[in-house]
Amino acid sequence: MNRGTTIGAVVLTLAAVVVVVLSLGATGPPPFDAESTSPSGYAAVATILRDRGALVDVRTATSVAQQGFGPGDVIVVPAPELASFADLDAFTDAAANGATLVYGSPPPQRESSIDVDSFDEFLAPIPSTELVDEKLLARTPAVAVPPGECDIVDFAALGQIDGAFAIPFTPSADQPEQRTCFGDAVGVYTSARNVGAGIEITLAGPTMLSNARLWPDKENGGEPLANAALLVRPVEVASSAGPARVTFVRAESSPGSSIGSSGPSNPLRLLPSGIQVALLVTVVAFVFYAWGRSRRLGRVVRERAPVEIAGSELVEAVGDLLRRKGSPDRAAVVLRSEFRRRMGVAAGLGIAPSDDVLLSWLTRHSSVDPAQLHATLSGPIASSDALVALARRIDSITEEVTGVRQSP
């Protein structure tokens, strides 16, 4: 496998691992959160309220319970079943002081046979709100519900709302003062009742105010309905004396809760199924391609090395071959070239000294006549006998200068 393919395979593998790790560990904001843009979030309705001048805040149930609320305040509790009874009592007290309280679903009721006064911190209602799949929430067409016999003045003039994922409820019989709208005798989607100086409004499900249900099945041409107005109208009433302060209570999952994080726990789920499969096929295809194109080296093959011979013997062998071919002059060139190299190295003149420089040095370091030295370096070689004589002179001079005999 070449270096580029290896690097590409490693990078792609690491990217796939990172995506898987992030997809397994990623968690989004809580369900029905005013800062969440997921299909189940409340960011859209929160933006509408801000555009109308409302002051929007997000708090936990405990924080809201410890805060004093009154006229001009609107408390939105998307999932009251996740709040403790002590928190629910605090919400009711805020409404009694003049605040507007909006429940996303009917709040749980205490069992009359249990004394919970000293157990408020330990008892929690069992959550009944089930989170709907994000894709299903976004793609399901609207189930239009008209106002019907509506005795909630603020809602009477509204158009149809979407009740696709809401569960109609029956107003409590011990609260005959409750007013209803959007529904019939079997069940209603909204109710309202006065609590002291304030008002308590109850919806049939927290998804009624979620991002996806304000404009159901938008991608397929669905029409926007009046779900946002179920919160906008009460806020407008509360803002008669100044900007309304809207506090969204963040849904906090309790042990055993059926509500988890509303943000997609797996970012890959945001992609259509076809694209997810295509990504998987691409990764698999690249791995097979890299494997198929990779170089398979296999086991190392050990080869016997050729017999090493001395350089002088190689020169003589080449010279002898040339002599046999009838080329004494060419053989002489080979012999003289090797002779110059050996003498140049011995004299420190390099591997290719000039004839003049080498002749001067040999004259000082050998007993051979300068004329013979000149003939050895550059004299004509016209016959085999002359070539043999040249080889003998070269051998004699080499032995005298270096002390090493070149040939046996």
Q: Tell me which residue has tokens 């070239």.
A: 337
Burial code (b: 16+ CB inside 10 Å, e: under 16) for 175-196 equals: eeebbbbbbeeebbbbbbbebe
Domain coordinates of the chain in residue numbers?
Answer: 27-265, 314-402
pLDDT given for residue 223 in this prediction:
80
pLDDT exceeds cutoff 50 at 280: yes
Residues 122-139: what's their mean pLDDT?
Answer: 59
pLDDT exceeds cutoff 90 at 119: no
CA distances, 53 to each of 46, 71, 242 (Å): 11, 16, 9
Contact indicator for 34, 43 with CB cutoff of 8 Å: yes
Give this prediction's pTM: 0.55
pLDDT given for residue 309 in this prediction:
55
Alpha helices in 224-270 (DSSP H): 229-238
The lowest-confidence range among 35-44, 184-193, 276-285 is 276-285
Structure tokens at 127: 């959550």
The lowest-confidence range among 220-224, 325-329, 332-336, 339-343 is 325-329
The lowest-confidence range among 14-28, 284-298, 300-314, 380-394 is 14-28
pLDDT given for residue 210 in this prediction:
93
The lowest-confidence range among 155-159, 160-164, 234-238, 328-332 is 328-332
Would you tell me how many other CB atoms lie within 10 Å of the CB of residue 217? 17
Highest mean pLDDT pick, 253-257, 329-333, 403-407: 329-333
pLDDT given for residue 115 in this prediction:
44
Phi/psi for 108 (5° steps) reads -70, 155
pLDDT given for residue 57 in this prediction:
92
Distance from C-alpha of 150 to C-alpha of 226, rounded to nearest angstrom:
15
Confidence of residue 358 (pLDDT cuts 50, 70, 90): confident
More confident site: 80 or 403: 80
Distance from C-alpha of 406 to C-alpha of 395, rounded to nearest angstrom:
5
* Domain with residues 27-265, CATH architecture: 3-Layer(aba) Sandwich (3.40)
